[in-house]
């Protein structure tokens, strides 16, 4: 009798344990992807003492953080980064090789998500967009396919490309902000023929006017911002109508001269405004409330605008991140309430990082440079004139890629590979060009490490140029000496945070080398669905509960 009771008790414990495990193994109701535009990894550590407990620190403490995660290709631009995160692969496969690039078939510069076959929805212009240039599927596509096209994908960002590309080819909705005189969230007829009621109501609320009616001053006493340089310095770009790039900023008086409604992009209010719209979407679309798993893709675009204008070491960038930390805390709390703790999984990363302002580095006696695009093109033309008696053999130079004019080369009975190789042999003598290779080298040589491997993984045989150039470290293609940019394969542009958090993720940290292309297969494995069809990344197994 005692043995029978003991057996029954043991069986009950096993049954209870199994049921408990099944509960914890339940798939999330919602996956949230957060991409912060232009976030360097060191923004997590530099400003850590001033972050609150419920934003970045919450997901660092309770999630899994990759401290040595990098982009593994060139160029590190916004469209390329968002695409690589969500496809799990690099530009050689997914086909998005820049924000803008020279289309050698159309013989013109193109924009990554422009698509004239669709119309604007919610505005007269700004909405003729689609993801058709992206050649592979995304994790958002795969989730919908795995659920027989059930479950919703909603993608939101101030920048159109940052909303369109993460949403994939099957998104139920992608929304972005049309500034200037519009001040509205809009979309494309690729997704729908009219804005949903919740989005129209949000636009009617005139929240954008509310945000732009307030000045931008520092969240805390500016004297406590010891992690950044003095406010009045020579390395930042001023707003039009303001004598110096210093706090406070009287946004209402500056608005008209700085793009009207576009002004919200360049102040931390843009992050809060985006968060408000995200919350409206969660409620309006009932995300996380069905039997299927939904996906919410969010990109915070404002940090990129502020970073470009003021630079890495500015008090404006520091204040932006302290305020963004609060916006994230508000979002996480909202998800807890509306979707439920334990019912969602999220990842947070960046689409690229950024270089310190080169002129600032120069002032600190650190090698840094500026390169003139006009002088570079003139130099390349002088090479072809010298060796082939023509300066009409180069069609365009785009994103440090040289596109040859194949028709002119053929008419002179020249060999395109010979022309390309001669350019490579001599352009290396141009000041500030560090490396140069031909497209033929990219096709016939396999690089396994270093900067040329990154160049190769960013080279797309169908779309890229005939000669590829790499400038010296800390070099910008610009004539301006204020503000900064990105695009290289050097650590300052490639090192970004990756944090997994929530359902299916165990707390921890890793110092192992990972790439941003590892995010999509990791989320796919967590959801037990197929990888995006071009995936080359690997599962971050140590981040997931067994």
Angle separating helix axes 302-310 and 315-335, nearest 10 degrees: 170
Nearest CA to 209 out of 276, 154, 278, 303 is that of: 276
State the Cα angle at 225 between 224 and 228, rounded to 5°.
Answer: 150
Nearest CA to 174 out of 76, 295, 69 is that of: 295
Q: CB atoms < 10 A from the CB of 17, how many?
A: 10
Dmax over Cα atoms in the chain, in whole Å?
103
- CA dist list (Å): 25 to 18, 122, 277, 343: 10, 41, 31, 11
The catalytic residue among 78, 275, 302, 384 is 78
The neighbouring-strand residues paired with 188 are 120
- 99-102: long-range pairs with CB below 8 Å, 24+: 99/161, 100/398, 101/398, 101/399, 101/401, 101/463, 102/395, 102/396, 102/398, 102/401, 102/403, 102/465
- CA dist list (Å): 7 to 1, 10, 363, 398: 10, 5, 77, 74
Q: Quick check: helix, strand or coil at residue 200?
A: helix
Nearest CA to 74 out of 440, 493, 432 is that of: 493
Q: Is 78 a catalytic residue?
A: yes
Nearest CA to 454 out of 480, 482, 493, 510 is that of: 493
Nearest CA to 66 out of 426, 412, 544 is that of: 544
Angle separating helix axes 302-310 and 269-284, nearest 10 degrees: 170
First to last CA, the chain: 38
DSSP 544: B
Asked if 320 and 268 count as a contact pair (C-beta separation under 8 A), the reply is: yes
SS (H, E, C) 446-487: CCCCHHHHHHHHCCCCCCCCCEEEEECCCEEECCCCCCCCCC
Asked if 281 and 287 count as a contact pair (C-beta separation under 8 A), the reply is: yes
SS (H, E, C) 70-108: ECCCCCCCHHHHHHHHHHCCCHHHHCCCCCEEEECCCCE
- Give the Cα separation of 62 and 123 in Å (integer): 41
So which residues are the catalytic ones? 78
């Amino acid at each position: 009798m005692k043995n029978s009771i003991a057996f029954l008790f043991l069986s009950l414990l096993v049954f209870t344990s199994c049921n408990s495990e099944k509960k914890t193994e339940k798939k999330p109701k919602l996956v949230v992807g957060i991409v912060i535009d232009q976030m360097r990894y060191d923004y997590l550590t530099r400003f850590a003492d001033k972050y609150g407990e419920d934003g970045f620190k919450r997901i660092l403490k309770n999630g899994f953080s990759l401290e040595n995660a990098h982009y593994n290709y060139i160029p590190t631009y916004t469209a390329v980064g968002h695409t690589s995160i969500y496809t799990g692969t690099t530009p050689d496969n997914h086909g998005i090789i820049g924000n803008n690039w020279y289309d050698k078939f159309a013989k013109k510069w193109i924009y990554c998500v422009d698509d004239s076959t669709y119309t604007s929805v919610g505005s007269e212009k700004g909405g003729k967009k689609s993801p058709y240039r992206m050649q592979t599927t995304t994790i958002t596509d795969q989730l919908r396919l795995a659920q027989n096209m059930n479950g919703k994908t909603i993608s939101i960002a101030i920048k159109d490309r940052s909303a369109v590309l993460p949403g994939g080819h099957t998104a139920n909705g992608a929304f972005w902000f049309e500034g200037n005189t519009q001040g509205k969230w809009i979309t494309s007829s690729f997704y729908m023929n009219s804005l949903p009621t919740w989005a129209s109501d949000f636009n009617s609320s005139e929240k954008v006017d509310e945000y732009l009616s307030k000045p931008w001053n520092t969240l805390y006493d500016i004297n406590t911002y010891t992690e950044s340089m003095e406010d009045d310095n020579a390395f930042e770009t001023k707003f039009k109508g303001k004598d110096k790039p210093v706090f406070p900023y009287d946004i209402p008086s500056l608005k008209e001269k700085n793009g009207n409604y576009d002004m919200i992009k360049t102040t931390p209010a843009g992050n809060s405004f985006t968060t408000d719209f995200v919350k409206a979407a969660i409620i309006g679309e009932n995300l996380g409330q069905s039997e299927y798993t939904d996906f919410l893709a969010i990109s915070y675009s404002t940090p990129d605008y502020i970073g470009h204008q003021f630079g890495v070491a500015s008090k404006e960038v520091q204040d932006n991140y302290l305020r963004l930390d609060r916006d994230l805390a508000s979002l996480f709390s909202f998800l807890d309430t509306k979707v439920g703790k334990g019912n969602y999984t999220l990842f947070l990363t960046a689409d690229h990082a950024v270089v310190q302002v080169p002129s600032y580095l120069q002032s600190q006696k650190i090698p840094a440079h500026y390169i003139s695009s006009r002088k570079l093109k003139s130099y390349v033309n002088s090479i072809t004139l010298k060796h082939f008696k023509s300066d009409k053999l180069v069609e365009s130079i785009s994103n440090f890629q040289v596109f040859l004019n194949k028709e002119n080369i053929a008419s002179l009975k020249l060999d395109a590979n010979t022309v390309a190789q001669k350019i490579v042999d001599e352009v290396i003598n141009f000041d500030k060009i560090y490396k140069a290779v031909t497209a033929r080298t990219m096709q016939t040589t396999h690089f396994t490490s270093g900067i040329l491997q990154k160049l190769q993984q960013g080279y797309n045989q169908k779309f890229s140029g005939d000669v590829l150039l790499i400038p010296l470290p800390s070099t910008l293609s610009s004539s301006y000496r204020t503000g900064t940019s990105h695009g290289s394969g050097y650590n300052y542009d490639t090192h970004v945070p990756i944090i997994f958090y929530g359902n299916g993720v165990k707390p921890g940290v890793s110092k192992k080398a990972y790439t941003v292309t590892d995010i999509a297969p990791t989320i796919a494995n967590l959801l037990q669905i197929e990888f995006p069809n071009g995936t080359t990344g690997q599962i971050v197994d140590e981040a997931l509960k067994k």
